[in-house]
Amino acid sequence: MNDVFQFSAGISVLEITYIVASVFFILGLKMLSHPLTARRGNIIAAIGMILAIAATILFHQKDGAPIGNIGWIIGAMIIGTAIGWIIAVKVKMTAMPQLVSFFNGMGGAAAALISMMEFPHISSELIARTGMANGHVLAILLGLVIGSVSWAGSMIAFGKLDGWIGDLRVKAMKYVNVTILVVIIAFIVYIMTRDVQASSELTPLILILFAVAVAYGVLFVMPIGGADMPVVISLLNSFTGVAAAMGGFLYNNQAMLTGGILVGSAGTILTILMCRAMNRSLLNVIVGVFGGGGAAAATEGGTVKEITVSDAAVLLSYSKKVVIVPGYGLAVAQAQHICHELDNLLDEKGVEVRYAIHPVAGRMPGHMNVLMAEADVPYEQLLESDEVNPDLPNTDVIVVIGANDVVNPAAEDDPSSPIYGMPIVRARDAKNIIVMKRGMGKGYAAIENMLFYNDKTRMLFGDAKSTLQALVTEVKAL
């Protein structure tokens, strides 16, 4: 009786801890909605995860026996924590999108491995009672497929963001992907309708299903490029959350289930919001080819006018309102701190400086927000593009630093352009436009930008960091 009481008490403590951990997850996610509370939200969610892990190790029991291999578990946790800590400390802000893809892929891989390990151990009693067609088997198969797709797709996204994997833009690819998806569904149905005595008899089919799902993850992401990459990262993140939730179903683990649902739903909502920000459907993102084309590609751009650093410094210093549009080029140059130094100097001269943040600027969701926050730019200066646009006609100078597609007028003027209909920062409405670029190369979406040829536009060529440093020097001298 005493043993039973201890077992029941242990389960109660475990369940209560899972509930507390789930509350911490929800609070942490809520705090992530605002930059001022995001750091605290991360810490609270991390505490929730520590509680869930500790409670599982201490109180979880199966068939009356505690968890085994504690030494291996703790050792793996120490090694993983050390590796993750070192990577997070050393990673450059320009590589943050790659890091997000890599970490997300690891989550998908973990979910897939759980499913592969659990499938051969499906209860023979359950199979005898219901066959393979039951919720437990379905959770395993969905966790395997979704986790594998998330892992493989995230690794391809990592390579594409890092520049060593290119786009595979073949029109027939979408038909290939649909075919593979049908094969995956057919595999799941076939496995769940088999009449077997033990699930281990179907292990070879599970390995084949894993391989097909990995192939789908690779081919699903390969054609996607350009400004669609932030959407893909968000979508893959939601996949990982759903795969983790399947693990929660398998182990009846409320914390794992809640965490997976939160990640999956948050990633899905973010994906939908980003698609709306680009005025595109998710299906169009997945099967469409975003890059190149449009009427601008077939016409000569016009005349480009340049501006010197000295003239740019004078123009900025004697303005009343200045808007800065940061882009990936600013991140690559690691020039966010110097950019903030410039806006501080202009502020001292009585110039109102704000930043226009486009939802899909950069290579991951919120990339520019994170970049400018790292430079300690006040959050009130960071405004969404739709907040800035109405006041741009009253803005003396808009400075576009390393951004391209998010200020491209083709989104409003060229129905044949792949980005037509995408809301943009309407830079051309400002009284003066300064575009800082290394050269006249096209943006990540490979689309010609007619803003560069606008009569109000002046090009300031050079590396963003060195150019901004020169601007700071000139402004100080005025």
Give the HSE-up count for residue 454: Cα atoms under 13 Å, Cβ half-sphere: 23
**How many angstroms separate the CA atoms of 155 and 19, rounded?**
33
Token pair for residue 471?
């601007």
Pairing of strands 65-66, 61-62: antiparallel
> Residue 36: which residues within 8 A CB-CB, separation 6 or more?
379
Alpha-carbon dihedral sign for residues 173, 175, 177, 180? negative
205 contacts 190 by C-beta, under 8 angstroms: yes
Catalytic residue among 405, 429, 455, 463: 405
Residue 405 bears catalytic tag: yes
Q: What are the angstrom distances between the C-alpha of 92 and each of 15, 88, 95, 97?
A: 40, 9, 5, 10
Angle, alpha carbons 446-151-363 (nearest 5°)? 30
CA 259 to chain centre: 17
444-473 burial, b at 16+ Cβ within 10 Å, e below that, comes to: bbbbbbbbbbbebbbbbebbbbebbbbbbe
Compute the distance between CA of residue 247 and CA of residue 116 in angstroms, rounded to an integer: 11
List, in order, residues 6 or more apart from 361 with CB less than 8 Å away: 325, 326, 327, 328, 367, 368, 403, 406
Q: Which residue has the tokens 């199966």?
A: 62
The Cα–Cα gap between 134 and 131 comes to 7
Determine the length of the chain. 478
- Max Cα-Cα span within the chain: 89
Contacts of 1 (CB under 8 A, 6+ apart): none
CA distance 226 to 246: 32
405-442 burial, b at 16+ Cβ within 10 Å, e below that, comes to: bbbbbbbbebeebbbbebbbbbbbbbebbbbbbeeeeb
Alpha helices in 193-327, H assignment, sequence order: 203-221, 229-251, 254-277, 282-287, 309-317
Give the amino acid at 400: V
Known catalytic residues are 405
